[in-house]
Amino acid sequence: MMMNRRDALKVGGIALAGASLPPFPVWGGLNRGKESGRIFFEKEDIPRIRRNARTALLGSKYEEWASKGPQSVVDAWKKFEASGNIVYDLRDFWAAFERCSVVYIVEPTEEGRDALLFGFERVVALPKWDYLMDGEEDIGLMRAAMAVSRLLFAREALGDAFGDELNEGFLSVLAEKGAIPCERTILGMNQPESVAGWRYDPEHPFINEYSLENWPYFLGRTNLRGTSTMGLGLAALALRGRDSRCDQWMDTAVDSTYQVLSEFSPNGSYLEGLSYGAYALRLVLQFCEAHYRLMGDIDWAKAANWSGIIDDVAVMQAGKKSDGTPDVVNFSDASASIHPCVGSWIRERAGNEAAQHATENFAAPGYFLDFLWYRPGRSSEPPRDELKNYRTDLDWVICRSGWGAEDAVLAFRSGNPANHEHADRNSFLFKAFGERLLNDPFGAAYDRRDPKWTLRMTKAHNAILIGGRGHQYHEGEEGVNAGKAEAKILSFTDKGDHVWWTSDATHAYQLANDNVRKVLRTMVFLKPTVVVVLDQVQLAESAESIEARYFPDNRDGLAEVSRKGGNFELKRPGAILYGAFAANTPLSVTGRTLDFREDLVEGVSLEEPNELGDYPFVSAKSAPARRHELLTVLVAEQSGSGNRPELKARKSGSLWRFEANGMTGILDTRGDVPSVEIRNEG
């Protein structure tokens, strides 16, 4: 149902009559841009923006952007002009245009001014700003919304260099090329049965062959709702007093913003993963902040559980990458953390001090709003200790020894399907001593025809196969939307440095194999270095084998996999993962490499397999049986430590006993879920 601004005021917690709005922090509160009409910043903010460009957090990124030079805008436009590729080449133009706009604010030059005006004039002259249609009408998703945002920002960056004639020409097309296409997209998401039929614009080349028939039905619950919402909201604010449709557009944008924020779980998690939650936020927060500045009648600080969202940012961290930027729990296609602007907005508008810590420790600069919104020197506080062992309300479990670069992180994917997901139920990643000793794959293809589609499948994860098959996943007919596979956490026990849980992925595997009766995985984490995995599989009728796979990170080609009998080693330059298998059936333990040829679609050949990368793994494959129990004991050691742990695992009746690094444990499988007992013999 459409929410108008009057309803939004109530939801936002503001009384309509006689309301006194709460004071806001130093950003100047409400209606700051009402007189100037500026969407993003006032002229008096420029000295602060320039100081931000020299801060420890943003300085390196600014220098990188400045080094590209104004000519990069012209070059990017000429590349787009030659190709007509509105999907990728126009995106690259917008990146150059955004960089140049920020640099012009900090260090205005004639060359920067001319480059921005060059790009601005040519975008305004384009017949359309996006590549999707509903029937014969244009709709606006990513590119149209990006055009609205970046053009409005550049207009303010240019200041007095932006003439009245160009402004008039821009505003005269903003409705038709920006607001209306974005509104059509949102209305299609809100009422998918009303669309004529979403499709790609035949005038623009595209590399995919997705069916868009069902996109209106599911896209509105993904991060992509945020794009059209931002585009429509900013356009409506810019056209106030000029276009009679602005009130209607504003109501639609407000309603859609609430819907974007409602996709965050009650505790602040985001089903598509941190990257996509961060993307949705940096889009809609542009509108929220501009709405604060020009309207001021909704308190967006009350529109979501911002504290929970910041908790989730902390929970999803995985130390640092080799370049010092944040590493994250990369379930699905997620691969990056928030930008500083997200944490900065939450710190200032919601008063959350943990958001300042997230901004300065868990964020990677790279967005124009970082330079506008960052406030160095604000009070901050680190994540709460309770977040070290965290079961999200999505049924993901992330446990850690701390938030340092060398601290251990164990992240486990149970829960429901999601847009951008992989076939990864009951899989996990493990990082210790700065190394992804067990990795969740990066760089999976979005297109089923690409051989790297294999990286989306269960066989490419630290998970099990039954009869050589993973759990249910689709064939990419509609892109990377959600499948149907579900899993759930049955038990979770938190004893501080000792934590364990059991997840049931029976549903996920039954969808692919009706012979499956039960699939449980029990995880035991004895911080910071010991991980124990018990897989239990029961089959209904015929006997089948199961296989457990464990993949080290090998993006740099430096991982080594070796085995001897039932034991194995996964080596990275900074750490080694020692492992041992034991099972109730005979096992074959081998070192293997992921074979992309197994999943090629008809008409696709693999002439240069090395270009896809090398994905070594250790495999433990059982003999066929109807009932399987497979125990894996893992211990991480820092390279050069000289420690070589002795691992023991054996079965006695219903009990599995293990020894590792001075720890002994018993898993009793008599109940519906295994019970766990841990003893520290060290």
**pLDDT, average across residues 623-641:** 98
The 3-state DSSP class for residue 391 equals strand
Torsion of CA 273, 366, 85, 480, to 10 degrees: 0
| Per-residue pLDDT, 2 | 40
Averaged pLDDT, 235-251: 97
Q: Which residues pair with 617 in a beta bridge?
A: 592
Per-domain residue ranges of the chain: 1-42+270-383, 69-263, 386-680
Q: Give the distance from CA 434 to its chain's centroid.
A: 21
DSSP 8-class letter at 177: I
How many whole angstroms separate alpha carbon 467 and alpha carbon 513? 9
* Closest of 410, 568, 401 to residue 501, by C-alpha: 410
What are φ and ψ of residue 113, in 5° steps? -60, -50
pLDDT beyond 80 at 610: no
Q: What percent of the chain has pLDDT over 90?
A: 89
pLDDT of residue 140: 95
Burial of 245 (0-12, 13-18, 19+ CB in 10 A): middle
Q: What would the mean pLDDT of 529-550 be, rounded to a whole number?
A: 98
Residue 676 main-chain phi, psi, to 5 deg: -125, 135
pLDDT computed for residue 25 by the predictor: 40
What is the reported pLDDT for 490? 99
Furthest CA-CA distance within the chain: 85
Inform me whether the pLDDT recorded for 288 exceeds 70. Answer: yes
CA–CA separation, 293 and 350 (whole Å): 16
The CA distance from 579 to 551, in Å, is 12
49: which DSSP letter?
H
Q: Which residue has the higher pLDDT, 597 or 253?
A: 253
Check pLDDT > 60 for residue 75.
yes
Q: What is the CATH number of domain 386-680?
A: 2.70.98.70
pLDDT, position 194:
96
Window from 35-39, 146-150, 218-222, 590-594 with minimum mean pLDDT: 35-39
CB of 596 within 8 A of CB of 454? yes
Cα separation, 478 vs 476, in Å, equals 5
Please, what sign has the CA dihedral across residues 150, 152, 153, 154?
positive
The CA distance from 22 to 98, in Å, is: 33
CB 582 within 8 A of CB 566: yes
- Per-residue pLDDT of 387-446, as tens digits, reads 999 999 999 999 999 999 999 999 999 999 999 999 999 999 999 999 999 999 999 999
Cα–Cα–Cα angle for 370, 362, 385, nearest 5°? 140
* Short-list 168, 190, 135, CA closest to 2: 190
Q: What is the pLDDT of residues 451-468, one digit of tens each?
A: 999 999 999 999 999 999
Residues 101/149, Cβ–Cβ less than 8 Å: no
**How many residues are recorded in the chain?**
682
What is the helix, strand, coil percentage profile of the chain, to 5?
Answer: 35, 25, 40
Residue 19 reports pLDDT greater than 90: no
pLDDT for residue 616: 98
Q: What is the pLDDT of residue 609?
A: 59
Question: What is the mean pLDDT of the segment spanning 544-572?
Answer: 97
* 125: helix, strand or coil: helix
Beta strands at 627-638 and 575-583: parallel, antiparallel or unpaired: antiparallel
pLDDT in tens, 184-225: 999 999 999 999 999 999 887 665 678 899 999 999 999 999
Average pLDDT over residues 243-251: 98
Res 28: pLDDT: 52
In the chain, the amino acid numbered 175 is A
pLDDT the model gives residue 96: 99
449 φ/ψ angles, rounded to the nearest 5 degrees: -75, -20
Count of C-beta atoms within a 10 Å radius of residue 84:
11
Mean pLDDT, rounded, for 484-501: 98
Distance CA 642, CA 629 (A): 32
Distance CA 405, CA 182 (A): 42
Q: Which residues contact 535 (CB under 8 A, 6 or more apart)?
A: 464, 519, 520, 521, 546, 548, 628, 629, 630, 631, 632
Instruction: Let me know: does 449 contact 460? Beta carbons within 8 Å.
Output: no
How far is 60 from 350, CA to CA, in rounded Å? 28
Q: Which tops the pLDDT comparison, 84 or 33?
A: 84
In order of 313, 399, 593, 648, the CA distances from 318 in angstroms are: 10, 10, 25, 29
Considering only residues 671 and 8, tell me which one the structure prediction assigns the higher pLDDT: 671
Instruction: List, in order, residues 6 or more apart from 504 with CB less than 8 Å away.
Output: 487, 488, 489, 490, 518, 519, 520
Whole-number average pLDDT of the chain: 94
Handedness of CA 112, 115, 121, 125 (dihedral sign): negative
C-alpha span between 667 and 673 (Å, rounded)? 10
3-state DSSP call for residue 605?
A: coil
Residue 544 in this model has a pLDDT that exceeds 50: yes
pLDDT of residue 31: 65
Q: What pLDDT, on the 0 to 100 scale, is given for residue 322?
A: 92
Distances (CA, A) of 118 to 73, 166, 438: 8, 11, 49
Among 368, 636, 366, 645, smallest CA distance to 525 is for 636
